[in-house]
Amino acid sequence: MSHIELVSIDPCTGEAIWTGTPGNVAAAIAAARAALPGWALASLDDRIAVVRAFKAVVTDRADAFARLIATETGKPLWETKTEVASVAAKVDISITAQAERAGSRTGEVAGVRQVLRHKPHGVLAVLGPYNFPAHLPNGHIVPALLAGNSIVFKPSELTPAVADFMADCWAAAGLPPGVLKIVHGGGDTGRTLAAGDIDGLLFTGSAGVGGALARQFADSPGKILALEMGGNNPLVVWDTDPATLDAVAALVVQSAYLSAGQRCTCARRLIVPDGSEGPLLDRVTALIDRIIVGAPFDEPQPFMGPVIANHAADGLLAGAALLADKGARVIRPLTRHREDRPFLSPALYDVTGLSGLPDAELFGPFLQVIRVADWDAAIAAANATQFGLSAGLIGGDAALYDRFWAASRAGVVNWNRPTNGAASNAPFGGIGLSGNHRPSAYYAADYTAWPVASLEADAPEGGIATGLRA
């Protein structure tokens, strides 16, 4: 019997829910490489049939799927049900995107037939995160399979059980053996996979890991690398109607604390006009004080669960302590509900005027308030980050939003909506430390296939009219 080295822990109870050993990366890549020709040469209709069968399996197993995600991540059941629905919905969206962005086109140039087709890259590695352990890697996997690639998927070591469940759904859908291989492990396994005999890597995760991957791939320009990373996202509240302050406060709370702040699009910085922020913050804190933090299956359902693990909670508490030491005014503290478990309260700190603040993504229920003198200062504060994933404006009119949109440095820019609202039938990604200009979601079809442009004739046609001796 092999020694068990990997354990997945229920963050709410501390109980082990999955055990396993690190995967054999070389064997997984070899199996995917062997399965590639048959899958790549299968007709698009055949590949579509398999992914539609996957959707049917996911829909049939939705309850068990949602309960497993909730158990392994600690997210409330109401939220994991929406994640499973997104996994299923990704199929039809990806089929449409593939046809639109990576399908075949035929035209004519100067009387010659012009054809555009796309080819799969080959064996693609997918590195998935823990916060949406099904939906986010699925957003790479479905488009990649439609394009004809085979895949080696390394899930987060914190959510291996969800990955195994997904793999079983694909097997039940009739995906040929070897086309999707799961390899479990931690950072060393990910680095080994990235250095292996693959044709590209699709990543969702932290900026630190994404930067390391970019450096690792610097000598491999022929391999596709798609990076979707985090954000230090600004939410500007400006020129709001006092009658709408309750709605505004709700949008702020949703932006900052949904999924216990463990969404890459969560608002991290709330930028408000200095001197008039009181009524808004009163309403925000009133909502914070009503937020139920609890386990996934509690009744009534909690708004948010724990963060993913004790080490994540420890890091967040250290980050909060650093800001407090720098002089931040604690409006609502970041506190731990239980010393042995990662349940955290939603926190709100005013960091106005403080210098030397880290430009970091505090990946949890933590919002920083920044008071500014005028609109130009608000824009400067919003853009004072190396990240560029999401940004939001609440309030103002269409003209002000146009100014905000034009000045924003983010790939997702929302108006009078939460920063973490994004549509699956639109591209998703950011700039700077948030991504490498390869947005996912609807545009995943762009990086899972490469275009081949052809000029074609049914018979040889040619002659040289100039430059030949008689």
Q: What residues are labeled active site? A: 228, 264
Please answer whether residues 347 and 253 qualify as being in contact, where contact means their C-beta atoms are separated by less than 8 angstroms.
Answer: no
- Identify each DSSP E strand in 101-217 by its residue range: 105-109, 112-120, 123-127, 150-154, 180-182, 200-204
Please answer whether residues 29 and 196 qualify as being in contact, where contact means their C-beta atoms are separated by less than 8 angstroms.
Answer: yes
CA separation for the pair 58, 173 (Å, rounded):
9
For residue 10, CA distances in Å to 185, 341, 433 come to 18, 10, 31
Tokens of 353: 């005027």
Please answer whether residues 294 and 302 qualify as being in contact, where contact means their C-beta atoms are separated by less than 8 angstroms.
Answer: yes
What is the distance between the terminal CA atoms of the chain, rounded to a whole angstrom? 83
Element (H, E) at 255: helix 245-257
Q: Please enumerate in sequence order all residues whose Cβ is within 8 A of that of 453, keeping only pairs 6 or more positions apart, or say none.
A: 114, 115, 116
* Number of other CB atoms surrounding residue 93 within 10 Å: 20
Helix axes 44-60, 160-172, angle to 10 degrees: 120
124 bridge partner residues: 151, 200
| Closest to 266 in 3D by CA, of 170, 336, 366 | 366
Q: Please enumerate in sequence order all residues whose Cβ is within 8 A of that of 119, keeping only pairs 6 or more positions apart, or say none.
A: 40, 148, 449, 450, 452
Q: What is the DSSP letter of 175?
A: P
Q: Please enumerate in sequence order all residues whose Cβ is within 8 A of that of 347, keeping only pairs 6 or more positions apart, or say none.
A: 320, 330, 332, 333, 334, 335, 365, 366, 367
2 bridge partner residues: none
* Number of other CB atoms surrounding residue 311 within 10 Å: 11
